[in-house]
């Protein structure tokens, strides 16, 4: 029983990482209507920027805020320069440009900061909270930040005109133009937000997995699994999905002997496929109902 509890809490802790990433995934999906494979690399790159600022002696929260701001601008700039010119190209061309971005960011990060593992500080106290050792202060802090982000996004999307305009632009660009929405800028804004959230996710994850250019691919997959499990159209679902993936991963790894450490990534695969089989729009996602 104690082992179970321990693994459950560990699952919630890692689930926080995935939830954070899943949120970024859903964010970009909401604004551009497809999935950005370079998102993990963007987050990794942002984290390196934070690391660099810290190395130059910036205070943590100063570096944090600057990184988020820079990432936001970077996201907008990437959309305006790389993706605006190919707006009308087939989806596959976009995917190839994502792949190109992936290799550029990964390569430049490795070239600039080298491929050696770096440690990244946590803003939260390192001593165990309330004397328990099951879940660290960093884990709790990370979960807290995820929840705060979620609430902010919820307010943005459900209760502001800007959020409504962004959703409309993603769902039906042509009609959005017909009500006067500047669709191009909404998409760019979505990129900016996704990049900023990714940066936060990266800075929260880096103290746990350490900083290196390839830190994000596995996490992106888990984040993806979380987003799909929860439903790509629902930020709340994505966060719950992220936690669910973390918990299932830990419990399955401990209690199902064949799985162990080796197959953890495969769990994500099985989860994605299983959920998609039963409920193609995810557990919390809304199906677009439309009449022909």
Partner 1 sequence: MAAREDIAEVAAPRVGGLTFPAWQRLLTVGVLIVGLAIPLFVRNFTVFQLTLVMIYAIAILGLNLLTGINGQFSLGHSAFYAIGAYTTAILMDRFGVPYALTLPVAGVICLIAGFLFGLPALRLEGLYLALATFALAVATPQLLKLSLFERWTGGVQGIVIVKPDPPFGLPLSQDQWLYYFTLAVLVVMFAAAARLISSRTGRALKAIRDNPLAAKAMGIDTALYKSLAFGVSALYTGVAGALGAIVIQFVAPDSFTFFLAVSFLVGMVVGGVGSIPGALIGGAFIMFVPNLAEQVSKGLAWAVYGVILILVIYVMPTGAAGFVRLVAGRVARVVSSNR
Partner 2 sequence: MSAHLAVRGLRAYYGQTRALHGLDLDLAEGGITALLGANGAGKTTVLRAICGMIRSEGEILLDGKAIGGIAVEDVVRLGVAHVPEGRGTFVRLTVEENLGLGAMIRRDRAEVARDIERVYAHFPLLKERRRQQAGTLSGGEQQMLAVGRALMLRPRVMLLDEPSFGLAPRMVAEVFEILKAVNRSDRVSVLLVEQNATLALAFADRAYLIETGRIVMSGSTAEIGADENVRRAYLGY
**Which residues are near partner 1 by CB under 8 A?**
34-35, 37, 82, 85-86, 89-93, 95-97, 99-104, 106-108, 111, 217-218, 221, 224-225, 228, 232, 258, 262-263, 265-266, 268-269, 272-273, 276-277, 280, 292
Taking the CA atoms of residue 63, residue 205, residue 117 and residue 252 in that order, the dihedral angle to the nearest 10 degrees is: 180
Q: Which does 175 bind (CB under 5 to 8 A by kind): partner 1, partner 2, none?
A: partner 2
Of 102, 204, 197, the C-alpha closest to 156 is 197
Is 165 a binding residue for partner 2 by CB under 8 A? The answer is: yes
Of 207, 164, 190, the C-alpha closest to 16 is 207
Is 291 a binding residue for partner 2 by CB under 8 A? The answer is: yes
Choose between 13 and 26: whose C-beta lies nearer to partner 2. 26
Is 167 a binding residue for partner 2 by CB under 8 A? The answer is: yes
Residue from the set 33, 172, 218, 236 that interacts with partner 2 by CB under 8 A: 172
Instruction: Judge whether 286 and 233 are in contact, CB under 8 Å.
Output: yes
Is 182 a binding residue for partner 2 by CB under 8 A? The answer is: yes
Is 238 a binding residue for partner 2 by CB under 8 A? The answer is: no
Is 1 a binding residue for partner 2 by CB under 8 A? The answer is: no
Q: CA–CA separation, 66 vs 72, rounded Å?
A: 10
Q: Which does 69 bind (CB under 5 to 8 A by kind): partner 2, partner 1, none?
A: none
Residue from the set 17, 78, 181, 245 that interacts with partner 2 by CB under 8 A: 181
Choose between 164 and 217: whose C-beta lies nearer to partner 1. 217
Choose between 121 and 218: whose C-beta lies nearer to partner 1. 218
Burial of 186-219, coded b for 16+ CB within 10 Å and e otherwise, reads bbbbbbbbbbbbbbbbbbbbbbbeebbbebbeeb
Q: CA–CA separation, 234 vs 163, rounded Å?
A: 14
113-152 footprint of partner 2 as x/- string (CB under 8 A): ----------------------------------------
Of 7, 289, 27, the C-alpha closest to 146 is 27
Choose between 114 and 128: whose C-beta lies nearer to partner 1. 114
Chain mean position to CA 56: 27
Cα–Cα–Cα angle for 282, 286, 292, nearest 5°?
A: 120
Q: CA–CA separation, 195 vs 256, rounded Å?
A: 37
Q: Which residues contact 27 (CB under 8 A, 6 or more apart)?
A: 153, 190, 193, 194, 197, 235
Instruction: Write the CA distances from 86 to 52, 79, 91, 94, 186, integer angstroms.
Output: 33, 10, 10, 8, 16
Binding-site size for partner 2 (CB under 8 A) equals: 23
Q: Which does 261 bind (CB under 5 to 8 A by kind): partner 2, partner 1, none?
A: none
Q: Which does 181 bind (CB under 5 to 8 A by kind): partner 2, partner 1, none?
A: partner 2
Q: What are the residues binding partner 2 (CB under 8 A)?
A: 161, 164-165, 167-168, 171-172, 174-183, 233, 286, 288-291
């Amino acid at each position: 029983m104690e082992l179970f509890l321990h693994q459950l809490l560990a699952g919630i802790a890692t689930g926080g990482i995935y939830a954070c990433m899943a949120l970024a995934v859903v964010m970009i999906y909401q604004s551009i209507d497809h999935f950005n494979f370079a998102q993990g690399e963007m987050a990794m790159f942002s984290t390196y920027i934070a690391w660099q600022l810290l190395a130059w002696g910036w205070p943590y929260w100063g570096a944090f805020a600057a990184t988020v701001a820079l990432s936001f601008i970077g996201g907008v700039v990437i959309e305006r320069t790389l993706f605006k010119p190919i707006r009308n190209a087939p989806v596959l061309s976009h995917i190839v440009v994502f792949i190109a971005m992936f290799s550029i960011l990964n390569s430049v990060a490795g070239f600039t900061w080298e491929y050696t593992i770096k440690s990244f500080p946590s803003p939260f106290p390192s001593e165990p909270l309330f004397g328990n050792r099951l879940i660290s202060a960093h884990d709790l802090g990370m979960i807290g930040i995820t929840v705060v982000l979620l609430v902010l996004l919820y307010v943005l999307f459900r209760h502001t005109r800007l959020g409504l305009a962004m959703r409309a632009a993603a769902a039906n660009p042509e009609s959005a133009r017909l009500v006067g929405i500047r669709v191009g800028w909404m998409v760019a804004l979505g990129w900016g937000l996704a990049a900023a959230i990714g940066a936060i996710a990266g800075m929260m994850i880096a103290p746990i997995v350490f900083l290196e250019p390839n830190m994000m691919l596995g996490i992106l997959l888990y984040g993806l699994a979380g987003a799909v499990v929860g439903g790509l159209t629902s930020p709340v679902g994505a966060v719950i999905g992220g936690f669910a993936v973390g918990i299932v991963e830990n419990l399955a790894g401990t209690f199902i002997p064949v799985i162990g450490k080796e197959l953890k990534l495969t769990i994500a695969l099985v989860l994605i496929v299983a959920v998609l089989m039963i409920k193609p729009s995810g557990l919390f996602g809304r199906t677009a109902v439309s009449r022909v």
